[in-house]
Every structure is written in C-alpha cells, then in structure tokens.
Structure 1
Amino acid sequence: MYAAWCCLESHSSTISRPRIFGASPAQWRKQRKLDQAKGLLESTREAVTGIGLAVGYDSTSHFISEFKKQFGMTPGQFRAAIDAAGP
C-alpha cells in the first residue's frame, strides 16, 4: 500500500506485469528499444552505430544481432529495403 502511495512499484505489480504486457519487463524494454531503433532507421539518416547507442545498446554488434533476431534482417538491410521502396 505504501509503495503505491509513494509512486513505487509493489512486488505484486512486478509479478503481474508479464501477464498484462505478455512479456517480462526485460523483454518489454528490449522490444521498446528495437521499435524505437526501427523508427529512427525509417526517419533519419543517422548511422546504425549512432542509433544503437541512442536507444541504449553499448555494443553495435549486439544491437545488430538483436535487431536481426526481432525483424529478420540487419538494420542496414532494413534501411536498404526502405530506400529501395522509395518515398
């Protein structure tokens, strides 16, 4: 009760979150970072390294690997597909 009053999460809210969002908190955060990166790839010409850093990845290779697992292509391939599709 006190945790809710102080705007802190209680233990029970942490436990119920995976059922609400369909993923663990870590999976949810990773998905959010990758979705944000996808948006930046679509809307900017920022380098892949810069986008990875901007969304919270310290390692470019880890960012590329996680992006490929999620979307089936590397960030560079994703951007090339967007460029090929045109405006």
Structure 2
Amino acid sequence: MAEYKGSKFTVENTWFSGAKLFHNGDLAASNNDIFAIRKDKPLMTAKVVIDGKKRRVEVFAFAIFTVKLKITVDGIKIAGNDF
C-alpha cells in the first residue's frame, strides 16, 4: 500500500486474476500478463485525480522468481522496490 497527498494506492497481484491497481478502494487499472520482465515499461497506467489535479499513476513490475513492484505518480516513486 502507498499514500500520496491523501490518496491511497494498493496493488494486488495473483496468478489467476492478474494485477490490479486500486485508488482509494476503486479499481483504477488491471493487467493479465503472465510475465513482467521489462523494468522500464509500466505494467499498468491510470489517470486519477489527486489533490484536485489529474495525475499519471504507473505500476512497474519485475517478476521472474519473485515479484518486485514499484508505484510512481507523474514519474516520482512513491512506494515499492528500487529497480
């Protein structure tokens, strides 16, 4: 879970349902790809309103044997792993 300017973000990742990004409990984006091997390409992108402004939220994933996630808002990391 991550918080940014009063907004809460959660990423859920399962083998059978794929990955989901939630913004304040509402589904903002989803992806059903099985593999995530490109660290430079977002797995999910959503446009959400944060603090009265439309922002780009991206979830990056790197998954081979373990899953590493990173959440960014307008290109700035707010939570997750460094990669």
Bin for the TM-score computed over the shorter chain = under 0.3
TM score, norm. by length of structure 2: 0.24
Task: Name the larger-Rg structure.
Answer: 1
Higher relative contact order (CA 8 A, sep 6+): 2
Structure (1/2) with the larger helix percentage: 1
Give the structure with the higher percent strand.
2
TM-score w.r.t. length of structure 1: 0.24
